[in-house]
């Protein structure tokens, strides 16, 4: 009995031949091209992740500011974006009056911390807080407009170059060339945040700050200098805004309107991550930074602002206290 | 008060007011002094102020001093419409500006209805295609620039594929729609077509897309600040491919803001203070002496817009808006007749201009002219 002959295997309508078997089912150039495309896609994805983490680190620094102000005064600082915009403008203004750049940095840094660390608490938060949360929130909105217009009219309506403390160039990472500046922004911002976290959890002053944030009345009874702790929180907020400003201004260029975008993104990040937790603001910042960059690349630049807002809506619907937030009587 | 007293008062007021009014001619400049267009608008404002000061010092136009008023358009179509309407209501002889094409398109019907000539700085091709007899350019139409750029990409850069990066406004869309067919006609593949937003701060994702498109060259068509941010992002990602653009990309403000990232950028420029042209160079020096920084092409546009008003008004011999508009269609102003025009310029029937232009490369932070391109229809 004759066994049925197996039907020859066919590839793209052609019988499979020995040379084809040696080469594989598709010609080598095609496979290489496909592999190259896959590699290019992976490289692009990795580069976008690094860029997204760098952007997210800036958002995280600003978002932590929202959290700190919320914890100490139970209000939202709507001028937080302008806090990130202003230090770079102050440095440039100081250099424009003839100071050398290092001295301009010193003047800008000290001036900003005094004005928007100490001054913000002393002249805006303290007088307004006794009238309730809403008037204070509205006062921060007014402050936001005031800072922006003062920067525009008092300095310049145009973008200005800001010196970079980090060299340009790329670094090979898992086969993809990623930006040194992106990595540096990420490392510096994360170091600042980890330093803050260590200060809050591992030092006596930090724990006292936490106690003040959790229950200022009990803290006062226990002898905690509550006002000094609140002032320290505002100074830390100003310092974080400074770091964010010096890191991002060489990339975005120093301009009065920079705070609008950063403030909105950080606000979304703080809500998504959890408004009452520093780790929540950190996670929210990175998440929004990643989503922002991936949306710009894979959706479109036009919708990059909309995608984080969609995430915000979903988080509010599913977990109103934020991804890592703690449930409170009031949720944001 | 009797009627006689009232009439005498009115007559007296008119007697004092009339000469004061008659001694000046009002030009109203609606220009981008804030918003994303602020760098462009500031240059234009300074250039126009400089021209007015010179003309007034020499006796004005037909014996009248120019009164130049600036209104901030905020780079916003709504604010521009309001400012143009105000200019018309305040009886401007000619409206100058704006520069951004979107606000021009949104506001030019107001001057057309009122019969007031408007001399603008926009480059988008659309607004001179609408049969408006009162709209005039100070710069080349982007549709005339793109064939020159496409030839440059094919013949000089030898590009087989190009990544096109454009800004999602009237200016950017017009440029994108003009360059892509020109590239395709020349067999150049568009490897990536990337839209960005006006006022965008973060260009990392766009630069990464450009990098991975692996095109032979990158064509950039963005406004000033966005151009600078994009160039910085491109260098940050280590992209070494030729970057080619139109006038804006090679502007003084872009070069200043982008710093080293602007070096090596090449492109086509309509107006440039560093061009081998004595008029431009003299203007550049005057501008630098007065304002302390280098003028970009918008400074030249503002300056020449005022000299255009002067020359054409003197040709018609009266302040007549309709006659002005008629005279400017098809007019040619040569530097030999009016040095303030800086470069021989011809206006076409639709309000477009034709003049020489330049191929430029940024070297050591300075735009260096590599070639001069002739008028399209001399």
Asked if the structure places residue A203 within a domain, the reply is no
Residue-wise pLDDT for B133-176, tens only, equals 999 999 999 888 898 899 999 998 999 999 999 999 888 998 99
Query: pLDDT tens, A103-130?
Result: 999 999 999 999 999 999 899 988 988 8
Angle, alpha carbons B159-B163-B164 (nearest 5°): 115
* Residue A28: pLDDT over 60: no
Q: What is the pLDDT of residue A33?
A: 63
The shortest CB-CB distance from A253 to any of B194, B195, B257 is to: B257
All residues of chain B having their beta carbon less than 8 Å from the beta carbon of residue A250 are 232
Class assignment of domain B142-269+358-373? alpha beta
A231, part of any domain: yes
The residue segments making up the domain with residue A148 are: 65-177+225-256
Contact A159/B at CB under 8 A: yes
Q: Can you give the pLDDT of all 378 residues of chain B as single tens digits?
A: 454 555 555 554 444 444 344 589 999 999 999 888 888 999 999 999 999 999 999 999 999 999 999 999 999 999 999 999 999 999 999 999 999 989 999 999 999 999 999 999 998 888 999 999 999 999 999 888 898 899 999 998 999 999 999 999 888 998 999 999 999 999 999 999 999 998 899 999 999 999 989 999 999 999 989 999 999 999 988 899 999 999 899 988 899 999 999 999 999 999 999 899 999 999 999 999 999 999 999 999 999 999 999 999 999 999 999 999 999 999 999 999 999 999 999 999 999 999 999 999 999 999 999 999 888 877
Helices (H), B141-277: 142-155, 170-185, 204-213, 224-236, 252-258
Write down the pLDDT at residue A258. Answer: 94
pLDDT at A26: 44
Q: Give the domain B3-140+278-347 fold.
A: Rossmann fold (3.40.50)
pLDDT single digits (tens) B283-295: 999 999 999 999 9
Whether A35 is in a domain gets the answer no
**Could you give the CA distance from residue B136 to residue B172 in angstroms, rounded to a whole number?**
20
In a domain, A234, yes or no: yes
How high is the pLDDT of residue A29?
57
- Identify the residue among B166, B191, B204 best suited for mutation to test binding to A, counting A beta carbons within 10 A and taking the highest: B204
Q: Which residues of chain B does CATH 3.40.50.2300 include?
A: 3-140+278-347, 142-269+358-373
pTM: 0.81
User: Could you say which of B33, B202, B208 has the minimum Cβ distance to residue A44?
Assistant: B208
Whole-number Å distance between alpha carbons of B276 and B293 = 19
Residue B375, CA distances (Å) to A125, A291, A294, B351 in order: 64, 48, 45, 16
Decide if A112 is inside a domain: yes
> What's the pLDDT at B160?
96
Query: How far B2 CA sits from the closest chain A CA (Å)?
Result: 51
Return the number of other C-beta atoms located less than 10 Å from residue A12's C-beta: 6
pLDDT bin (cut points 50, 70, 90) of residue A36 is low
A62: tokens are 């600003």
Q: Dihedral of CA B304/B305/B307/B313: which sign?
A: positive
> What is the per-residue pLDDT across A170-191, written as a single tens digit (0 to 9) for each?
888 777 778 888 899 999 999 9
Write down the pLDDT at residue A14: 43
The predicted pLDDT at position B14 comes to: 47
pLDDT at A37: 64
User: A326 in a domain, yes or no?
Assistant: no
Residue A115 lies in a domain: yes
Do the chains contact at A160 and B257, CB–CB below 8 Å?
yes
Number of domains in chain A: 1
Q: Is residue A94 part of a domain?
A: yes
User: Which residues, at least 6 apart from A294, have a Cβ–Cβ distance to it below 8 Å?
Assistant: A48, A52, B205
Residues in Cβ contact with A331 at an 8 Å cutoff, skipping those fewer than 6 apart: A320, A321
């Amino acid at each position: 009995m004759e066994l049925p002959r197996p039907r020859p295997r066919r590839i793209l309508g052609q019988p499979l031949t020995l040379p084809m078997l040696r080469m594989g089912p598709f010609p080598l150039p095609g496979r290489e091209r496909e592999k190259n495309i896959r590699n290019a896609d992976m490289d692009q994805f990795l580069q976008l992740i690094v860029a997204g983490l760098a952007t997210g680190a800036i958002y995280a620094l600003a978002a932590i500011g929202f959290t700190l102000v919320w914890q100490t005064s139970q209000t939202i600082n709507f001028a937080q974006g302008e806090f990130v915009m202003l230090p770079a403008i102050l440095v440039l203004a100081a250099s424009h009056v003839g100071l050398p750049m290092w001295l301009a940095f010193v003047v800008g840094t000290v001036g900003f911390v005094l004005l928007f660390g100490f001054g913000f608490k002393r002249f805006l938060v303290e007088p307004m807080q006794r009238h309730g949360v809403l008037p204070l929130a509205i006062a921060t909105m007014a402050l936001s407009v005031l800072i922006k217009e003062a920067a525009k009219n008092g300095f310049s309506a145009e973008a200005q170059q800001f010196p970079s403390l980090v060299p340009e160039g790329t670094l090979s990472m898992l086969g993809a060339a990623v930006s040194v500046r992106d990595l540096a922004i990420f490392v510096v911002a994360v170091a600042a945040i980890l330093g803050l976290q260590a200060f809050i959890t591992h030092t006596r002053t930090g724990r006292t700050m936490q106690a003040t944030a959790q229950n200022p009345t009990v803290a006062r009874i226990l002898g905690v200098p509550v006002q000094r702790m609140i002032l320290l929180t505002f100074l830390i907020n100003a310092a974080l805004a400074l770091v964010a400003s010096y890191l991002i201004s060489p990339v975005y260029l120093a301009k009065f309107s920079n705070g609008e975008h950063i403030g909105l993104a950080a606000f979304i990040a703080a809500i998504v991550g959890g408004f009452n937790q520093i780790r929540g603001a950190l996670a929210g910042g990175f998440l929004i930074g990643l989503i922002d960059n991936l949306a710009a690349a894979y959706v479109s630049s036009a919708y990059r602002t909309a995608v984080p807002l969609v995430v915000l809506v979903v988080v509010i619907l599913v977990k109103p206290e934020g991804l890592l937030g703690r449930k409170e009587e009031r949720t944001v | 008060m009797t009627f006689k007293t009232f009439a005498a008062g009115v007559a007296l007021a008119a007697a004092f007011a009339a000469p004061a009014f008659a001694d000046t001619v009002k030009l109203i400049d609606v220009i981008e002094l804030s918003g994303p267009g602020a760098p462009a608008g500031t240059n234009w404002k300074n250039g126009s102020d400089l021209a007015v000061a010179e003309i007034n010092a020499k006796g004005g136009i037909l014996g009248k001093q120019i009164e130049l008023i600036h209104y901030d358009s905020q780079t916003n179509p709504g604010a521009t419409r309001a400012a143009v309407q105000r200019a018309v209501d305040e009886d401007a002889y000619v409206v100058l500006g704006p520069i951004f094409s979107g606000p021009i398109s949104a506001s030019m019907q107001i001057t057309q209805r009122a019969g007031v000539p408007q001399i603008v700085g926009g480059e988008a091709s659309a607004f001179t295609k609408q049969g408006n007899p009162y709209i005039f350019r100070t710069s080349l139409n982007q549709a005339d620039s793109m064939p020159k750029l496409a030839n440059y990409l094919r013949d000089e850069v030898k590009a087989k594929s190009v990544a096109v990066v454009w800004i999602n406004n009237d200016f950017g869309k017009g440029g994108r729609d003009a360059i892509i067919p020109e590239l395709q006609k020349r067999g150049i593949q568009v490897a990536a077509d990337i839209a960005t937003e006006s006022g965008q701060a973060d260009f990392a994702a766009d630069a990464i897309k450009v990098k991975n498109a692996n095109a032979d060259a990158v064509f950039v068509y963005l406004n000033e600040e966005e151009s600078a941010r994009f160039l910085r992002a491109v260098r940050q990602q280590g992209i070494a491919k030729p970057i080619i653009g139109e006038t804006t990309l090679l502007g003084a403000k872009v070069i200043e803001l982008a710093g080293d990232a602007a070096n090596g950028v090449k492109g086509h420029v309509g107006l440039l203070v560093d061009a081998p042209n004595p008029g431009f160079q003299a203007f550049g020096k005057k501008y630098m002496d007065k304002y302390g920084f280098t003028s970009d092409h918008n400074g030249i546009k503002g300056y020449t817009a005022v000299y255009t008003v002067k020359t054409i008004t003197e040709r018609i011999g009266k302040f007549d808006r309709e006659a002005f508009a008629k005279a400017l269609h098809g007019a040619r102003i040569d530097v030999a007749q009016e040095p303030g025009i800086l470069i021989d310029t011809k206006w076409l029937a639709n309000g477009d201009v034709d003049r020489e232009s330049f191929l430029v490369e940024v070297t050591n932070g300075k735009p260096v002219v590599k070639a001069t391109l002739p008028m399209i229809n001399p």
